[in-house]
């Protein structure tokens, strides 16, 4: 819940104490996701950095094959998108509907992220 509440100090304490940064969680019953997807979707750059520092898998998808990069791109979180790309996020990964981060950025109407991902995919 520390990630869900964007509580950086609590998340750091839990991760330092051995909590699994790649655990699958259900924020909504029947909708499995990951801490990294949740943090990226919420635009929490500091939490994304913390999770990556503790070895969160940058390309681990949620139950719908959505990755943290897709979540951040769709929500318009450019700083998070930049960090995830720099950390090795796969811009070509597709969710279960066949959409990649660029498609989700377009749906979200995020011109900066669209341009960034178009450049990355060249």
The pLDDT tens digits of the residues spanning 3-59 come to 766 778 888 888 989 989 999 888 788 889 999 999 999 999 999 999 999 999 999
Please report which helix (H) or strand (E) contains residue 34, including its range: strand 31-34
- φ, ψ of residue 97 in degrees (nearest 5): -95, 0
**Unique residue bearing structure tokens 């819940």:** 1
Homologous superfamily of 8-120 in CATH?
Ankyrin repeat-containing domain (1.25.40.20)
Q: For residue range 60-99, what is the model confidence (pLDDT) as tens digits?
A: 999 999 999 999 999 999 999 999 999 999 999 999 999 9
What six digits make up the tokens of 91? 């811009």
The domain locations on the chain are 8-120
Q: Identify the CA nearest to 83 among candidates 32, 26, 43.
A: 43
Element (H, E) at 118: helix 111-120
């Amino acid at each position: 819940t520390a990630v869900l509440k964007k509580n950086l100090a609590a998340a750091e304490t839990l991760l330092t104490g051995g909590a699994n940064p790649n655990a699958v969680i259900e924020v909504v019953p029947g909708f499995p996701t990951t801490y990294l997807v949740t943090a990226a979707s919420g635009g929490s750059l500091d939490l994304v950095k913390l999770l990556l520092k503790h070895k969160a898998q940058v390309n681990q998808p949620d139950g719908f094959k959505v990755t943290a990069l897709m979540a951040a791109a769709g929500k318009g979180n450019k700083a998070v998108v930049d960090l995830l790309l720099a950390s090795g996020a796969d811009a070509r990964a597709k969710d279960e509907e066949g959409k990649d981060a660029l498609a989700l950025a377009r749906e979200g109407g995020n011109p900066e992220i669209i341009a960034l991902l178009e450049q990355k995919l060249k």
